[in-house]
Structure 1
Amino acid sequence: MKLHSSRIAATAATVAVLAGFATACNRGSDSTSAGSGGGKAAIGIDLPRADSDFWNSYAQYVKQDASSQGLNTLPVSNSQNDVTKLAANVQVFQNTGAKAVVMAPQDTGAIASTLDQLAAKKIPVISVDTRPDKGDVYMVVRADNKAYGTKACEFLGKQLGGKGKVAELQGALSSINGRDRSEAFAACMKEKFPDIQVIELATDWKGDVASAKLQSTLAANADLGGIYLQAGGAFLQPTLALLQQKGLLKPAGRPGHIAIVSNDGIPQEFDAIRKGDIDATVSQPADLYAKYALSYAQAATEGKTFQPGPTDHQSTIISLPNGLEDQLPAPLVTKDNVDDKSLWGNNVGK
């Protein structure tokens, strides 16, 4: 059974703006439930971190959609990029009656034991943006991260005319997303642009690490022609600040411009594209992540099942060894379409 739009439609105009989520691991009296959902089964929601513009936007959409879908959500937790905190938060969900759990584990290997624990209690899990390496999942709501790396490669390769040097600010390679983007970028460059040298910089999704490594790379490679930011929410600001400091932030089209392609689709990236500071980003659908993760969570509490194949929301459900994955569309954004009103980055907070 595919997910029907009538079951999951969210009307933004009726959304009630609710109190902010607690950012601490322990969910005490300052934590706020995202929705009341009288009569519906309880859903536990853990936010993965609060240090990224992308994930903060996702948190805002979760609040909106929990309300508009009329869900019964437990007080929302934030595991702060710490799998131990995530495990503790999940235990609280179990103790307070969760019938489904929405999470976005940043370490996709270490979460396996927590997933096994939930499976033993017959509590289905919806994993957002990240695909756990092991452990049962009801549904992964995610975009095709290999496509992110391929799109970035193809764009940069053309910008550089197939020659030169590119620095790649990689995400954590303990994450399936970091691995997928890095492997796809490398494979594409090797196949299509063999004369471009890729300088891989592992960052663990940390902006300060990215800035320090990029600074060293620039010092050793004055002819650097391009940069791939695997996460604009973490890397955009420190990258632009460093280039500005070094006198290297030249507008697109001007001599000396360093071509930059990013991933996320946050408003700050769109502004940077408009200014010519960066050239492109792949829009990771924070709005659709929230909408469909919560929809699948509610469906899970109702015992509904899904099958691989196309959906009615322009995505494809694929089969995994440990569950299913709904691969949502993630378009490339350039100066040609940056003002498209259908992009979530042009609507968040409005």
Structure 2
Amino acid sequence: MTPSGAPERGIPVGFRELAPERALKRLELVIVRRLDGLLQGDHLGLLPGQGSEAAEGREYQAGDDVRAMDWNLTARTTVPHVRDRIADRELETWALVDATASMDFGTGRAEKRDLAVAAVAAVAFLTERTGNRIGAQVLHPSGPRHVPARTGRAHLLALLRSLLALPRSEPGEQGGGDTLGEGIGFMLRTAGRRRGLAVVVSDFLEDVGSWERRLTQLAHRHQVLAVEVVDPRELTLPDVGLLAVVDPESGRRREISTANPRLRLRYAEAAREQRAAIAAALRRAGAAHLRLRTDRDWIRDIVEHVLTQRRIARAANPPPRRSGMAAAPTGAPGGGAA
């Protein structure tokens, strides 16, 4: 069921057919050439924000966040002031990678687990700067795996190499602590108190109620990027006659007739409802949502996501006006009152 035609640029096809070192070099080359070239900047970010270090104060303007009010400066000048903030110079990033059985699937140009590794690599290479640290929590039926947050290129490559070397899960194989909610809970306990970036890479096919509350708690302490990995066969069924389907999590097997148009319609409607519920839960939790598909150019999807986030950040926090004369309040001379 793999689509015919030449693979698009940037699609991580056949990662496990290459030696780990060649796969990592190829992946880094794709990211540096296509992502780093499009997203220039000293401190690149997939989630542009205001940062947390205090900067200079300025007069309050309509639309500013009242939580940024500088009351000491306001008291000294008798004019409302806010305190601008700048981004931290050292970033700590934590990645939660879903490597359960449902990720060992793909009918597009890559498997979902390959796309998950590509997403983590994109975040890691883009945030790799002097002093920046990255750690990971991996969900696998054999048991959760923890990689402490450290700096350095050697640590980054070792982390990606360990993700590439993860063994496949057998259908129905279950392990302790391999649910998404438990993984997010572990991140809450291990991620530092200092605000950083938390990246959750999964297909989010578990029940929404099992992970939404903990993801909300994580978003209260860190910036959260939820990377949803999707395969086209999880959205629609092709008309291929009798089809044997297996639930990778439980191992249950069932044969269905895809020639039935009503069945295909019900499947597509159920898939849309499921994805809408996932998107709504991520939005309620306060996480930025990036969807990657195994049949699309994942580099292009990341670029579009970053540009959209930057437009939203600029609209929510417009730069201060830099005029030679401060705007007069309404009703004062020159304020335009009738």
TM > 0.5: no
Higher alpha-carbon Rg: 2
TM-score by length of 1: 0.29
